[in-house]
Structure 1
Amino acid sequence: GVTAIARAADGRLAVTDTWGATRHFPAVLVTCQSWLLTTQIAVEESLFSQKLWMALDRTRYMQSSKTFVMVDRPFWKDVDPATGRDTMSMTLTDRLTRGTYLFDNGPDRPAVICLSYAWMSDALKMLPHSPEKRVQLALAALNKIYPDVDIASHIVGDPITISWEADPYFLGAFKGALPGHYRYNQRMYGHFMQDGLPAAERGIFLAGDDVSFTPAWVEGAVQTSLNAVWGIVHQLGGQCPADNPGPGERFPEIGPIALPE
């Protein structure tokens, strides 16, 4: 892992890893969640403007938790004789499980249930609890919805769970922009256009769904990655073919509007 990013005396970017080795690069692409730039990585403050630091620090990450169990088979496909339908289905509810998802790998083969996929307040209800307790809470909630389905009897193996906000390398599952955050989004999203930046701030690029206008979706991660790749190529003196312009060439035309400060 990376522990520090700084400007080296030769003008390149010095990247230090967890073993203490420092290497110099003409450009650096950062894809971690932005809060890690102040909590897990010692980033030289002058690499970003204060306005960009403000945008990065005020990014709002959403709490989220998931709890998975393996089951012996996709029993939910058994037909309920009373209804003629599947015994159980993917379930969205106001109860604390919120979302329950079913994954199978064929009949009579081990399968997986995501007992609970919850966000924000519902995720915080799970935060202090052990995996076993989370499973108990989820099963109790689902029992109210499916009183005749004995999910527990099908469980094999130990549950797996995660609360992204409690992980030191995530600090939240994904960005959820708040009203008034457009300026922050625009600063982060447009940072790959670096010709107008002072030399001290050039060469470090950002990508990820939290840099985009579509947080939590892979499209935003891919789009900002393509933007950053264009920025790095431009930084190193490359360019796109005239008949196939890249995001940087098109940015003045179709990029997000910068609001007055």
Structure 2
Amino acid sequence: MAPHSASCYTYYELTTNVVIDQLRILLAGVVSPATRSAIWGKWVETWSHFPLDGFLHSTKEAVLERIPADYRIGLDKLGELLPWPEAAVTAYEVFSYTPAMDTSLVEFLRETMGHWWTPHMHTIKGGMSGLPEAFKKELKKHIKFGFTVTEIEYESPSDDLHRKVTVKGFKERKSDGKVVQKSIEGHAVIVTTPINILRQIKFTPATSESKDKDTPLMPMKFYKAIEDIWYGPSSKIMLQCKTRFWETEYQIQGGFTKTNLPVGQIHYPSNPGFDTIPKRIKEGILLVYTWKSEALLFGALTPELAVAEAVDQIAEIHPQIREQFEFGAIKAWYNDPAEQGAYALLKPRQVQHVMWLMYPWRNIYFAGEAISFANGWIQGALESGLRAAYQFYARTRALPDSKSLCQMEQIRDLDSRK
């Protein structure tokens, strides 16, 4: 049975739902939270080995050969659904605008299981910038802007609560442009930088006479994790038009148009349910959101050329934009020195690196969208931040969860000495 292009979405759901339903079978009747967590973790790791395109191209027999014997239950229907012919895989990639088919299968399964890209998702009234603005309002007295972190020094005395970390870096003085070295000492640090920035920070054990000389180095698994987690490039181009002509001429209210052009998708930003645009404002914004090679293409151009190229391509779909366009701007995340990539987009087997970073090293905790199961989303950043904060709280308050953290640390000590 081969999927037709017109039914690629339905056929995709039928195929991937076999894998999702397997998890429900494995968890059926299991009450213990620890056992359920272990089953879920092994299921995620098992299916993370497959890229989406590789999975769709495989036969049922080839899939079964690559997974543990006890995780082969409930997969009989794959024999009817796999393999997909090359034309069907290409049709799905184009029709769904899924440019990263070589990404780990679990990246796609989570979207279905989490009801992403559906009305179940929510946004912040007035725009997502309201989130950092709220933090800024409460914490502005404690935020040190313009501080570039270059090194984090940690120590390992026997008394866990008296460990210290020192964050070192530099800041450019506004008065004369001179670079000034600075350091901040604390009992713990939660590192929330993008992975590409994390790679550039040195982690060193304290070595002075007054400190513990037996503090181990960071395990190689840490460096392996931050080296392997792949960050996808992405570019976003915003184009302001004199009027929202797509609403009046095409009755387009929100959503997006899929194309086979480098612009990929043309988005029509809207805020359904919120009357946030005063009626006197006639202008509107079209949005181009690109990934992978298309993102590199636009990001490599000057802002002026990128905007002009986007207008030319959109004109093939909406000729009115040539007369309607006023001005535009581009954001290419991999060109931003503070980002150097848009978000984590996991390749096969990389989910194990994310799981490793979910535990602290000494009093260094890691968070950020990449170190979550909602990588690429603000939700992932929030979840990981809460997790890291709770881990620190559990350890300082000697809560039951702190025992598992200490056990994990002992294992990592052994790894670092190998």
- TM-score, normalization by structure 1: 0.76
| Residue 112 (structure 1) aligns with | 285
Alpha-carbon distance between aligned partners in 1 of 2:253 and 2:225, rounded to the nearest angstrom: 48
- TM-aligned CA deviation for residue 106 of structure 1: 4.4
Out of 232, 236, 246, the residue aligned to residue 62 of structure 1 is: 232
| Residue 124 (structure 1) aligns with | 296
Out of 193, 215, 221, the residue aligned to residue 32 of structure 1 is: 193
Alpha-carbon distance between aligned partners in 1 of 2:280 and 2:217, rounded to the nearest angstrom: 56
Q: Report the AA paired with residue 187 of structure 1.
A: W
Q: 1:114-173: per-residue Cα shift (whole Å, max 9, x none)?
A: 1x2100011122122112211222222222223xx321322334x211211122211110
After TM superposition, list the pairs within 5 Å mapping 1:139-178 onto structure 2. Answer: 139-146=311-318, 149-157=319-327, 159-178=328-347
Identity, in percent, stands at 21
Where structure 1 has 5 or more consecutive residues not aligned to the other structure, the ranges are 193-200, 241-247, 253-260
- TM-score, normalization by structure 2: 0.49
Task: Return the structure number with greater helix share.
Answer: 2
Alpha-carbon distance between aligned partners in 2 of 1:22 and 1:88, rounded to the nearest angstrom: 48
| Residue 378 (structure 2) aligns with | 218
Q: Report the AA paired with residue 124 of structure 1.
A: L
- TM-aligned CA deviation for residue 88 of structure 1: 9.7
Out of 122, 128, 152, the residue aligned to residue 5 of structure 1 is: 152
Out of 187, 204, 207, the residue aligned to residue 364 of structure 2 is: 204
Q: Report the AA paired with residue 13 of structure 1.
A: V
Are 2:307 and 1:135 aligned?
yes
Q: Retained in 2: the 8 A contact 1:47–1:202?
A: no
Report the structure number with the largest CA radius of gyration.
Answer: 2
Q: Report the AA paired with residue 111 of structure 1.
A: G
Q: How many residue pairs were aligned?
A: 228
Q: 1:179-206: per-residue Cα shift (whole Å, max 9, x none)?
A: 12132122122x14xxxxxxxx411101
Q: Report the AA paired with residue 190 of structure 2.
A: L
Q: In structure 2, do the counterparts of structure 1 residues 88 and 75 end up closer, same or farther at CA, with 3 Å as the change threshold? A: farther
SS in 1 for 2:315: helix
- TM-aligned CA deviation for residue 89 of structure 1: 6.7
Out of 100, 116, 140, the residue aligned to residue 266 of structure 2 is: 100
Are 2:257 and 1:91 aligned?
yes
| Residue 184 (structure 1) aligns with | 353
Q: Report the AA paired with residue 286 of structure 2.
A: I
SS in 1 for 2:199: helix
- TM-aligned CA deviation for residue 24 of structure 1: 0.9
| Residue 21 (structure 1) aligns with | 182
After TM superposition, list the pairs within 5 Å mapping 1:39-58 onto structure 2. Answer: 39=200, 41-44=201-204, 48-58=218-228
Are 2:249 and 1:79 aligned?
yes
- TM-aligned CA deviation for residue 111 of structure 1: 2.6
Q: Retained in 2: the 8 A contact 1:79–1:87?
A: no
Q: 1:43-75: per-residue Cα shift (whole Å, max 9, x none)?
A: 327663211221111110001111112223322
Higher RCO, 1 vs 2 (CA within 8 Å, ≥6 residues apart): 1
Q: Report the AA paired with residue 298 of structure 2.
A: M
Alpha-carbon distance between aligned partners in 2 of 1:113 and 1:215, rounded to the nearest angstrom: 26
Q: In structure 2, do the counterparts of structure 1 residues 213 and 47 end up closer, same or farther at CA, with 3 Å as the change threshold? A: farther
SS in 1 for 2:383: helix
- TM-aligned CA deviation for residue 232 of structure 1: 1.1
Runs of 4+ in 1 over 3 A off after TM superposition: 8-11, 45-48, 85-89
Q: In structure 2, do the counterparts of structure 1 residues 122 and 101 end up closer, same or farther at CA, with 3 Å as the change threshold? A: same
Where structure 2 has 5 or more consecutive residues not aligned to the other structure, the ranges are 1-146, 157-161, 172-180, 206-215, 271-276, 406-414
| Residue 236 (structure 1) aligns with | 396
- TM-aligned CA deviation for residue 18 of structure 1: 2.5
